[in-house]
Amino acid sequence: MSIPKEKIEEVRERASIVQVINEYVPLTKRGHNHVGLCPFHSEKSPSFTVNEEKKIFYCFGCNATGNVITFLMKKDGLAFPEAVRALASRYGITINESKSGVPDEREQIYSALKAASEYFSGMLRAAAGDPAKEYLKGRGLTGELAKRFHIGFAPNKWDGLFMFLKKKGIGVDVACKAGLLVKKDNGPGYYDRFRNRVIFPITDVRGRIIGFGGRALDEKSLPKYLNSPESPVFKKGETLFGLAQAKEAVSKEGYVLVVEGYFDLVALHRHGFLNSVATMGTALTTDHIRTLKGYTSSIYALFDSDEAGKKAALRGLNLFLNEDISCRAVLLNQGKDPDEFLQLAGPDALREAIVDAPTLMEYYLGSLRARLNMSAPEGKKKYFEDALSYLSKIGNLAERGHYATIVASTLGIGVDSVYDAIKGAGNPGSLKVKSGFQARSLPELTLLRVIMKHPELFSPEVETAFEAFTDDELKTAARAVAGLCREGVAVSGPALLERVEGEALKGSMAELLFREMDGFVEEPARMVQDSLKSIMNRGKVKTSTQDMIKLLEQMGKSDIAIELRKRIEVGPSGKRH
Ligand SMILES: [Zn+2]
């Protein structure tokens, strides 16, 4: 069941990497590149770079790199053939599988879920769905909204979906893996997982159904909310309900509103807050935050103003500090949840609450201050200690300064004392480990860069120089380039990345591809000659200088000898040359 090699090539050739990535990460054009916020690490200013011509992406922050296929694999958790097939179908490329053409397990699960969704929405439209329609109406969820979220209904039957899937030719094994059917404990047979429930289909960002959430119609039924179990296509902690519907509005508004419940989300949509998503009953996770970061750097989480809501807001603080992204706590002072708040106070009150929303850190400092006896020395000490433990986690200097000022003025001390204390607390800072080829041997780097851009200048001399590289990583990269040149294959991003092993080296390679120096094209042939000379003469220069040093020492001119020795140690690529 393997995909022919030329089809993989065709997919890579025809798929627009900018177009595909732009659906996950809003990109803006900058020079020859498109840039956006990296979906693979925390950042506030874009270092994630995509180049249509080179057909690769590269992050200058975390060195993540790859082509359009590996991007889908990383971002959607797809296997290689799945990613190729997804792109092929999108760009109208027909792949004739060499074997029977049986779709793989994930594809089968997607089909089962899609069929189930047809069943659920059909049941809602049917007469059997009247109680559900009544219930939804009572909660303000009708017509257009129900359609936008593809709401459905699972009737109060044990085998309704079972029979439907059977007719559709979907196997019970697949239906079980998809979380639609449950195997009976006692004896043979299967039954429907969702019964007598309003059904919310859960989709991934591309709108493919990956699971369901069901709200019991009968108030006595437990649990009140039932979600699909985790499956090969559904990971609850990574999924945000409504993101497919909200992503455009999130990019437009510049921020996202996060709630926990299905009905809270629908209520927000009903009142025009289209930039909203829901976590499906759980608190925000790191994975949620990372997903959202692909769309915005500003998260507003809605919390109830009761004790539980306040606690939930504070629990999130660490998470956001670690992910280096700003979150504001929108505290609702009426109703038991956002749905009720909107009913009681209306959308304008929510807009006001959004404008007034403190950052989680401000909220934390405020509640810490309120909780402690700030007129007693013990209270001040505790406040300082607790605040410090969070302050030292803030990587951004300007942001840290903002909070340090709040802490200083609360305690009536100078802000410098706060800074000193942060330093003493062993500030982890925001420095990221930087790899890549910068600050390596300059002639080696130059030669490699010129050849990558001008493969027509590749020659046996160049290859000899490649082999004389002293930097092992650069040598591996150079060998990959040499291989492509010898075979007459275009020196392209994807081809190069395929020929080097390991994420770190791939990252360095991509960086090289993106960091093409200005004025590069002016005199490539001369640059090759110069770097060749410099690389090949290295050994000779060293010996003759060493002879000279010996001579100088014999002459008693040790000061000049010492100076020369220093130069050798710096090497021909050093600043002194
Ligand atoms: Zn990154």
- Ligand 1 geometric centre to CA of 255 (Å): 20
- Ligand 1 geometric centre to CA of 40 (Å): 5
- Ligand 1 geometric centre to CA of 422 (Å): 27
- Ligand 1 geometric centre to CA of 61 (Å): 5
- Ligand 1 geometric centre to CA of 523 (Å): 34
Nearest to 241 by CA among 262, 215, 218, 219: 262
Fold for domain 238-357? Answer: Dna Topoisomerase Vi A Subunit; Chain: A, domain 2 (3.40.1360)
Q: What is the DSSP string of 498-535?
A: HHS-SHHHHHHHHHHHH-PPTTTTSSHHHHHHHHHHHH
- Ligand 1 geometric centre to CA of 62 (Å): 4
- Ligand 1 geometric centre to CA of 38 (Å): 4
Residue pair 72/86 in contact (Cβ under 8 Å)? The answer is yes
- Ligand 1 geometric centre to CA of 39 (Å): 6
Alpha-carbon gap, residue 130 to 153, rounded angstroms? 10
Domain 365-424 matching CATH 1.20.50: the answer reads yes
Which residue is it, tokens 């011509």?
53
Structure tokens at 352: 């006001």
Query: Hey, how many other C-beta atoms are within 10 angstroms of the C-beta on 464?
Result: 12
Nearest to 9 by CA among 64, 68, 58, 52: 68
3-state secondary structure of 14: helix
Nearest to 5 by CA among 100, 77, 98, 105: 98
Q: Which long-range contacts (CB under 8 A, 24 or more apart) does 387-390 make?
A: 388/418, 388/421, 388/422, 388/425, 389/425, 390/317, 390/318, 390/321, 390/361, 390/364
- Ligand 1 geometric centre to CA of 46 (Å): 9
Alpha-carbon gap, residue 441 to 470, rounded angstroms? 8
Structure tokens at 256: 């996202």
Structure tokens at 123: 């049941």
- Ligand 1 geometric centre to CA of 63 (Å): 6
**pTM value surpassing 0.85:** no
Q: In terms of C-beta density within 10 A (0-12 exposed, 13-18 middle, 19 or more buried), how is residue 169 classed?
A: exposed
Alpha-carbon gap, residue 89 to 208, rounded angstroms? 14
- Ligand 1 geometric centre to CA of 44 (Å): 11
CATH superfamily, with its number, for domain 105-234: DNA primase, catalytic core, N-terminal domain (3.90.980.10)
**pLDDT tens series, the chain, 577 aa:** 578 888 888 888 888 999 999 988 889 988 888 999 998 888 888 889 998 888 899 988 888 888 999 999 888 878 888 899 888 888 878 877 655 556 678 889 999 999 999 999 999 999 999 999 999 999 988 888 999 999 999 999 999 999 999 999 999 999 999 999 999 988 889 999 999 999 999 998 878 999 999 999 988 888 999 999 999 899 888 899 999 999 889 888 889 999 988 999 999 999 999 999 999 877 888 888 878 877 887 899 998 777 777 787 788 888 888 777 789 999 888 888 899 999 999 999 999 999 999 999 999 999 999 999 999 999 999 999 999 988 888 877 778 888 999 999 999 988 888 888 887 765 443 333 333 444 457 788 888 888 888 888 888 888 888 888 887 888 888 999 998 888 877 777 788 888 888 777 888 778 777 765 434 556 788 888 888 888 877 765 555 566 667 767 776 767 777 776 776 665 444 443 3
- Ligand 1 geometric centre to CA of 559 (Å): 48
Distance of CA 481 to the CA centre of its chain: 30
Which CATH number does the domain 5-90 belong to among 3.40.50.10360, 3.90.580.10, 3.30.450.20, 3.90.1150.10? Answer: 3.90.580.10
Strand partners, 213: 200, 227
- Ligand 1 geometric centre to CA of 250 (Å): 21
Residue pair 539/470 in contact (Cβ under 8 Å)? The answer is no
Residue length, the chain?
A: 577
- Ligand 1 geometric centre to CA of 37 (Å): 8
- Ligand 1 geometric centre to CA of 148 (Å): 33
Which element (helix H / strand E) includes 317?
helix 307-323
Alpha-carbon gap, residue 224 to 263, rounded angstroms? 13
Alpha-carbon gap, residue 277 to 271, rounded angstroms? 14
Query: Hey, how many other C-beta atoms are within 10 angstroms of the C-beta on 362?
Result: 15
88-92-96-97 Cα dihedral, nearest 10 degrees: 20
3-state secondary structure of 94: coil
Which element (helix H / strand E) includes 200?
strand 197-203
Rg (alpha carbons) of the chain, rounded to whole number = 30
